[in-house]
Each structure stands twice: as structure tokens, then as C-alpha cells.
Structure 1
Amino acid sequence: MTDQAAEAPQLKMNILGQYTRDLSFENFLVQKGVKGDVQPEIQVQVALDAKKRPVENQYEVITKLTVKSQNKVDQSPLFLLELEYAGLFQIEGLAEDQLHPFLLIECPRMIFPFVRRVVSDVTRDGGFPPLNLEPVDFIELYRKEAQRRAQAQAENAGPAN
């Protein structure tokens, strides 16, 4: 074992809890009484947020999902599901420059199966076939958000006068 390996802090991560922060499901199909052929078209948007908690080394990571379904035939809305699902994490032994990507890639990946189950149960209980979300590529999501922020910063900086 090298001295460098002995000095490297050991990553310790615990999921302290997880919960539904906010949930909304609107069934337009029943409300409006859509008639005729229904061919659902699903759109899923995912956003992430992470916040430091007052306790040292604790973080709250929130996965925000918006799932819209509309009828392919006439574009009428079928349902809208909005979910904010949070996980509370204790993270120690991680370099400061690695913390942000860890919070927005690894933490959401760990709680995603639970997010997926909530979405499946809610759509089924709402009168539709259970929606089983495809796995989310949190690495790609993180990269796109980083690019968007860099571009927004560049645009806000603008030319100096």
C-alpha cells in the first residue's frame, strides 16, 4: 500500500431518508371526457437540485419530474404528473471539487428506483396503465446543465464597454 493511498480519505455515504416533497396528478381524460381513439404520447422532463443542510456533511438532493401525456390523435392533454422526490444524504471523505457532480449524478441515481415506483403507482392509481420510466442518464443531464450555465454566464457577461 502506498503512502498516497493510505492518506486518501475514504468516501462514506449514507442515505438518511427519502420522501415525496410535492406530488400533483391531474387526469384530464376523466375531467373532460375525451372521446374516440386515445393514443398516449409521453414527455418526461427531469431537473435536479441539491442543498446543503444545517448539519455538517448532510445534503438534500431533489429530483423534479414533470410527466405530460397527450393524445397523438388530437394533441389533447391526458394527464400531468409533477413530482419532487428528495433524498437526504450524509457524505464524508469527498473532495470539494467532486461534491457537486456527486450530488447531482450519484445521489439521484441511488433514489431513482423509488422515483420510478412512485410514478408507476400514481399513473396506475390515476386510471392509466402504470408508466415505467426509462433509466435517466444523470451524467448527460449534468453535462447539459453545466453547458447551459456556462452559456448563460457568457451571454450575461457580454462585451465590455
Structure 2
Amino acid sequence: MSEQALNGGAEPAQQSTGPQFSVEKIYVKDVSFESPKAPLVFNEQTQPQINMNLNQRVQRLGENAFEVVLGVTLTCSTGEGEAASTVYVVEVQQAGVFGLAGFEPNVLDALLGTQCPNVLYPYARQLIGDLIQAGGFAPFLLQPINFDALYAEGVRQRQAQAAAGNGDLASSETAGNA
């Protein structure tokens, strides 16, 4: 059946020229798991402390293609101060290539800072959980992250820096602790 027949005899449908968001590829860019005190650490009976560091990098690959890398570092340690010892460290850089076309610059920035990491986070979360379990430790499930709130805070901080005369609005890396 021809396109003309499908459209009731009208002209062929025009392709959408509005904004477009697509996920082109999702992949692991880098991964690391370390447990420096294994196997001795498995006999310790202390309460571990978990520290998470989150960062994001954006790189333009083409006119409408962007690589977004979500970096998550999870450090589990026991003790405090100088007596602290590392139980394990997990570092994951979960990446994706995203197609974004037809967006205003401020909307494009917001999508790269919120929607793209929202797509990548479940993959990073699963990989981190699998690595911790494969390292011989109890399963650990990372809690959901509100990337919209993190992005809004980053924008607020950049605006405050600009108002203070720093003017460094070109940074494409966002970091946060949870």
C-alpha cells in the first residue's frame, strides 16, 4: 500500500521537525572494584560507612549527538579519622550517546543534566550492585537520585558564582555527594 493511500489520498506525511530526543547507545566506559583488605575484612564486625560521589561529563560528538558520562564512586570504610580503613571502592563510568535536536540551548542543557543521567543511572546502579556482590559483600542497592534537584542546585551555584564575579559558566561537570 502506498503512503498516499495510508494518508487518505493526501500528500505524504511530513517528518516531524520538532524537538527530538533519542538514546543511541548505552555502554560502560570504565569500571573498577577494589577491596584492599580482603579476605581479612570479611572477619570484621564493625559498622561500615558508605560515601558516594557522583559526577557527570558531557561531550558534543556532532551537531545533534552528545556523549554523557555518569560517574559514580562508592567508598565503604570502617572507623573514623586516621583509624579509618577502606573495605571496598567501586567506580563506574556509565555512558551513553544521545541524539538531541531542535532544543533551545537552555532546554538542551537541562536535558543533558537531568534526563540523560536519569536514563544512565539504573544501569550504573545495577552494575555497582553486581560488583559489590561479586566482591563477596552483602547486596547493596543505591537509592534513587533526583537529578532535577541536583541540576537546579548546580544552576543556582553557577549563577551565584557569576554574580560574585567568577563568571565560570562553561563547566560541563556536575558533582554531588549523597
Is TM (by shorter chain) over 0.5? yes
Are residues 1:107 and 2:107 paired? no
Aligned with 1:56 (options 44, 56, 63): 63
- Counterpart position of 1:148: 157
Instruction: Give the residue type in structure 2 aligned to 1:90.
Output: G
- Counterpart position of 2:172: none
Aligned with 2:31 (options 23, 36, 40): 23
Question: Any idea what SS the aligned residue of 2:59 has?
Answer: strand
Question: Any idea what SS the aligned residue of 1:78 has?
Answer: strand
1:72, distance to aligned residue in structure 2 (A): 4.8
Are residues 1:38 and 2:41 paired? no
1:77, distance to aligned residue in structure 2 (A): 1.2
Cα RMSD, aligned residues only: 2.2
- TM normalised by structure 2 equals 0.74
Sequence identity (%): 26
**What is the number of residues matched between the two proteins?**
148
- Counterpart position of 1:81: 90
Instruction: Give the residue type in structure 2 aligned to 1:156.
Output: N
Larger of the two Rg values belongs to structure: 2
- Counterpart position of 2:136: 127
Instruction: Give the residue type in structure 2 aligned to 1:57.
Output: N
1: distance between equivalents of 2:155 and 2:98? 22
Are residues 1:96 and 2:96 paired? no
**C-alpha deviations, 1:17-71, integer Å up to 9, x for none?**
111111111112306x235313222111111111110x32000111011101012
1:107, distance to aligned residue in structure 2 (A): 0.8
- TM normalised by structure 1 equals 0.81
- Counterpart position of 1:67: 74
Question: Any idea what SS the aligned residue of 2:25 has?
Answer: strand
Are residues 1:136 and 2:145 paired? yes
Q: Is the 8 A contact 1:62 1:84 kept in 2?
A: yes
Query: Structure 2 vs 1, CA of residues 69 and 96 (structure 1 numbering), >3 Å: closer, same or farther?
Result: same
2: distance between equivalents of 1:132 and 1:106? 21
1: distance between equivalents of 2:111 and 2:17? 16
**C-alpha deviations, 1:96-152, integer Å up to 9, x for none?**
221011101011101211111111111111111222110111012112222333344
Question: Any idea what SS the aligned residue of 2:70 has?
Answer: strand
Write out the 4+ residue segments of structure 1 that deviate beyond 4 Å after TM superposition.
Answer: none
Structure 1: any 5+ residue segments left out of the alignment? 1-7
Are residues 1:13 and 2:54 paired? no
Structure 2: any 5+ residue segments left out of the alignment? 1-15, 168-178
1: distance between equivalents of 2:65 and 2:129? 29
